[in-house]
Structure 1
Amino acid sequence: MSAQKFLTDVENSVVPVNSHDKVLRIAFIYMDEGLWCGTGMLDVIKKLHAHGWSFGEGKLRLNCTLDLFYLAQITAAIYHSSNQIEGIFLSPDEFNTFYTEHHALLHPSAWRAYYSELFLKQNTTAGFYRLPDLQDLPDSDSPLDLPRKRSHVGGGPHATKLPRWAYNIARTYLRQPLLPLATLTDIALSMLEATINRLRKAHPSVRPYSETQARFWLEYMGARYFGARTRSKAPSRGAWDENHFGVLAAQGAYDMYEWEGKYSVQLWEASWERSGVVEPDVEDGMWKSEVMWCGWPDGGVGAYAWWRGWEGELGSEEEIEFLAAVAVEETVGVELDKLDLAVRSHILLGVMQAAVKTGLEREDLLQELETGMVQSGRIREERAGLWLREALGVMEPYVRIWEGVWPDAEKRGKMLQQILVENGQLFARWKASPHLKEFSFVLGPRVEG
């Protein structure tokens, strides 16, 4: 049966869609156009879900991350099967050949090598596209359309995890001047250790990460970002843009194997067995990166990274845990009548207090918050009220247990952290799909005055 005939029959319910292979074939046909037009796999997921088609079953049915994962795998396989320079691509009619050739990437259980089930079942993972927690997407540790000339053992199946984590910390340092770099670093390292240990407890095959490796990537990103802000100078407007690590990796802005300039593979791999930071064992100047940044304009590389699924709509567990811990630290000792409504964490603390109140008291507090947010320059007047109502809707179910009583600082700090860990969209650090029905919590840069 031709691709067009098959698609017509399934869309008209002539042929039932009752297997992984059929959903995969539909997605492959849709990707023939979706990969090169519109927003790529984000357009395709909209089509699939409109028909109720999903790669997941039971509690994983219509799971945004799981379904987009398979589209990302299809896209990677299409690139492997294609010769873009020569214009050679598989046609939609060649699905059987395609599936046989790339079965390892596409079979019904392929997701288990990339995602832990617990991570997939989180509400935010089900509702937002998130990158894998067990290993990288295929090819995503090298610039797009510029494969590395040699294979690399070091870095393993998750070479981008620490660079992406360190990038998020560096961006946080640029955006949030309330905490010193040493405090941010301590929070980052402790949250990384906690999340990695938790993951390894359920999945011992996941490679541990050493302090040597973590501090290497903090220093690597720090060389680009930590010196870009002083306490007397506000960050540039560009610092408030969404995190685009996947795009930058696709452009070649970062080399995921830059550590080879200081460490041998053997020492890099073994560093987790040693406490503290291990001294480098490679002579300076002996190694030269093969990766070059293509710069701007990038000829569409950034768009292709987005279409291929290299950008999540929400960060990893270690990124979200870090941001939540930073937000709590920023509100320690802050009196509710002294909130700085140019600071997101202070705004969220104020919303949490409003969620505890009822009636006129709640409305008065929300109005105070709205006025302060607008005056701080973080948000337009016509959007501030809706922003607060949406945040209130997220927080209110959590604080009902307090029965209208505002608790002590320790309890509310723990609650704020739980809310933020379980609702990372409140940070608005990542670009959301244009098809996403969730509210966007993006704020503008602070107005310094």
Structure 2
Amino acid sequence: MSAEEFRAKVESGEIPVDCHDRVLQIAFIDTEDGLWFENGVFDVVDKLHARGWSFGQGDLKFNRTLDIFYVAQIGAGYHRNNYETSDDTKVFFTADDFDTFYAQYHHWLNQEAWRQYYSPNFLAQPATARFYRLPDLQDLPDSSGPRLPEKLQQKGIGHFTKIPRWSYTVARTPERSPTLSITTITQIGLSTLQQTMSRLRKDHPNVQPYSATQASFWLKHMKIDYSGTLNKKQRWRPNEFDGYVAQGGWDMWEWEAHYSRKLWESMEAQIAPVEPDLDGTRESEVRWCGMPDGCYVEYEARLRGWLPELGSEEEIEFLAAVAVKETEGIEMGDLDYAMRSHMLLGVMRAAFEMEPETHMEDIKRCIVQADEYDEGKVEQWIREVHMVMKPYVQKSDVWPDTIKDRNELLRQILIENGQLFGRWKLSPTSKEFSFELLPTSI
């Protein structure tokens, strides 16, 4: 049956869309044009949702991450076909070739495929259902290297970007958190990384274990100890890690120049940082594509689902812990509204007041005075933060008695609502509010 015939029978109701494979076939047909233009995977999923279709069942129905994942996997099949097969054997798939395509990439596309990439707990989180997030068990196919390689460099299956991505976020935090030392930020980062990875391994023992050596290596590689000064635009720019990986800006196997695999994966290296056993002279096979090609590559990476709308658990828990540390012991009258964590704490306090609007007006004035912010955008930002925090306030009803309890409530809100950090770009089709509050001078 041709794609046109299938689509016509679906639209007439002759073929019910009542199983995974039929939703997949519709998505496959839609990707023939939708995957390469405008907003890529996001547009394809929006079309599915508009017609009441989703890959998820039960509580996972219309889960944004799950649905985009399967469309991204279709894109991965196209990508692998383009780079892995020779010109003599290459198949140029059309919308009519669903059965052939599905048979060739069944391991990426079948109904249970998501379980190889996402833990059920992570996928079921409300934030994961609302914002597109990358897998927590292993990388999307071919996403740990350049988007446009001369040839695919497959080095097994795993989560090669997990620790580098986390280290990127940690290394760019000191400029945003000037009251904390690099040592403190590093300690918070290592602690939260170890906790999240250990927790994940309880249910998924095959995922990589925490390694003090790997974490230390990538923090240094991402220049955690950078002593220069960043301008405001550099300091507040959104997370660019995955786009830069797609451009070839970082080599996920850079460590191979410094460590043998035996030492890199050893128990000794897991427990504490160990010195390299190689001389570091191996030349990387990865090359940054440069500009203006880099703009196109990043755009294409977003179309294909390589760039998330919200960060990983280890990133969010780290940022939440930093925010709590920044507000630790701070009295409400001493908040510094130039700091994002203090802004969030201020809104949380206002939410407990009998007349929160009055207090939020005071917060708006303090934020605008603290830095060069647009008053209208600040007002909207405060209102949206308040909407996120309000359900937590309604459960507690009374402002926490101790600073410890106050910090625990703030930590819970931030962990469950990582979008409040405003560190990741939303897709243009997202209906969610962007919490990326930037000074007008940027």
Aligned to 1:195: 196
Aligned to 1:162: 163
SS of equivalent residue, structure 1 residue 176: coil
SS of equivalent residue, structure 1 residue 291: coil
**How far did 1:14 drift?**
3.5
Q: Distance in 2 between matches of 1:330 and 1:446?
A: 24
1:44 aligns with 2:44: yes
SS of equivalent residue, structure 1 residue 374: helix
**How far did 1:289 drift?**
0.4
1:400 aligns with 2:394: yes
Identity %: 49
1:419 aligned partner, one-letter code: I
Q: Distance in 1 between matches of 2:440 and 2:191?
A: 29
Deviation sequence 1:428-447 (CA, Å, 0-9, x none): 11111212111111111497
1:298 aligns with 2:301: no
Aligned to 2:420: 426
Deviation sequence 1:209-253 (CA, Å, 0-9, x none): 210000000000017x72333xxxx63413312102111000000
2:286 aligned partner, one-letter code: V
SS of equivalent residue, structure 1 residue 79: helix
Deviation sequence 1:173-203 (CA, Å, 0-9, x none): 2322221110100000000000001000111
Judge which range, 107-116 or 12-21, deviates more: 12-21
Alignment size in residue pairs: 438
Deviation sequence 1:41-78 (CA, Å, 0-9, x none): 01111101101111111111111111111011110001
1:75 aligned partner, one-letter code: G
Aligned to 2:126: 123
Judge which range, 164-173 or 272-281, deviates more: 272-281
Q: Distance in 1 between matches of 2:316 and 2:289?
A: 30
Q: Tell whether the 8 Å contact from 1:142 to 1:148 is kept in structure 2 after alignment.
A: no
1:178 aligned partner, one-letter code: T
1:89 aligns with 2:84: no
Q: Tell whether the 8 Å contact from 1:174 to 1:235 is kept in structure 2 after alignment.
A: no
Q: Tell whether the 8 Å contact from 1:376 to 1:447 is kept in structure 2 after alignment.
A: no
Judge which range, 392-401 or 258-267, deviates more: 392-401
Q: Tell whether the 8 Å contact from 1:378 to 1:443 is kept in structure 2 after alignment.
A: no
Aligned to 1:210: 211
**How far did 1:272 drift?**
5.6
Aligned to 1:173: 174
**How far did 1:386 drift?**
1.8
Aligned to 2:144: 141
**How far did 1:85 drift?**
11
Q: Distance in 1 between matches of 2:268 and 2:361?
A: 51
Q: Distance in 1 between matches of 2:343 and 2:369?
A: 13
Aligned to 1:228: 228
Deviation sequence 1:346-366 (CA, Å, 0-9, x none): 01101110111112xx22211
SS of equivalent residue, structure 2 residue 173: helix
Q: Distance in 1 between matches of 2:97 and 2:259?
A: 45
Judge which range, 134-143 or 379-388, deviates more: 379-388
Deviation sequence 1:244-291 (CA, Å, 0-9, x none): 211100000000000011101111111466521112111232x11000
Judge which range, 307-316 or 184-193, deviates more: 307-316
Q: Tell whether the 8 Å contact from 1:376 to 1:446 is kept in structure 2 after alignment.
A: no
Q: Tell whether the 8 Å contact from 2:381 to 2:437 is kept in structure 1 after alignment.
A: no
Deviation sequence 1:144-193 (CA, Å, 0-9, x none): 1206665435xx50111011000111121232222111010000000000
User: TM (normalized to structure 1)?
Assistant: 0.93
Q: Distance in 2 between matches of 1:186 and 1:132?
A: 25
1:289 aligns with 2:281: no
Aligned to 1:70: 70
Q: Distance in 2 between matches of 1:17 and 1:51?
A: 10
Q: Tell whether the 8 Å contact from 1:212 to 1:278 is kept in structure 2 after alignment.
A: yes
Q: Distance in 1 between matches of 2:153 and 2:46?
A: 38
Q: Tell whether the 8 Å contact from 1:49 to 1:62 is kept in structure 2 after alignment.
A: yes
Query: Structure 1 regions of 5+ residues with no counterpart?
Result: none
What is the aligned counterpart of 2:312 among 311, 316, 325?
A: 316
Judge which range, 114-123 or 365-374, deviates more: 365-374
2:186 aligned partner, one-letter code: T
Q: Tell whether the 8 Å contact from 1:373 to 1:379 is kept in structure 2 after alignment.
A: yes
Superposition map of 1:405-420 within 5 A: 405-420=399-414
Q: Which runs of 4+ in 1 moved over 4 A?
A: 83-88, 147-151, 271-274, 445-448
Judge which range, 106-115 or 164-173, deviates more: 164-173
SS of equivalent residue, structure 2 residue 18: coil
Q: Distance in 2 between matches of 1:228 and 1:9?
A: 62
Q: Structure 1 pair 445/184, CA: closer, same or farther in 2 (3 Å)?
A: farther
1:253 aligned partner, one-letter code: G
Q: Structure 1 pair 101/236, CA: closer, same or farther in 2 (3 Å)?
A: same
Q: Alpha carbon RMSD of aligned pairs, Å?
A: 2.1
Q: Distance in 2 between matches of 1:281 and 1:170?
A: 25
Q: Tell whether the 8 Å contact from 2:419 to 2:435 is kept in structure 1 after alignment.
A: yes
Superposition map of 1:260-275 within 5 A: 260-271=256-267, 274-275=270-271
Aligned to 2:112: 109
SS of equivalent residue, structure 2 residue 172: helix
SS of equivalent residue, structure 2 residue 407: helix
Q: Distance in 2 between matches of 1:198 and 1:206?
A: 11
Q: Structure 1 pair 268/22, CA: closer, same or farther in 2 (3 Å)?
A: same
Deviation sequence 1:313-365 (CA, Å, 0-9, x none): 10000000000000011111222122111111001101110111112xx2221
Deviation sequence 1:357-403 (CA, Å, 0-9, x none): 112xx222111111122223353112222211111111121122433
**How far did 1:88 drift?**
6.5
Q: Tell whether the 8 Å contact from 1:64 to 1:128 is kept in structure 2 after alignment.
A: yes
Q: Tell whether the 8 Å contact from 1:148 to 1:290 is kept in structure 2 after alignment.
A: no
User: TM (normalized to structure 2)?
Assistant: 0.94
Query: Structure 2 regions of 5+ residues with no counterpart?
Result: none
Q: Tell whether the 8 Å contact from 1:342 to 1:446 is kept in structure 2 after alignment.
A: no
Q: Tell whether the 8 Å contact from 2:373 to 2:440 is kept in structure 1 after alignment.
A: no
What is the aligned counterpart of 1:245 among 241, 247, 255?
A: 241
Q: Distance in 2 between matches of 1:375 and 1:328?
A: 23
Q: Distance in 1 between matches of 2:117 and 2:132?
A: 14
Aligned to 1:56: 56
Q: Structure 1 pair 240/12, CA: closer, same or farther in 2 (3 Å)?
A: farther
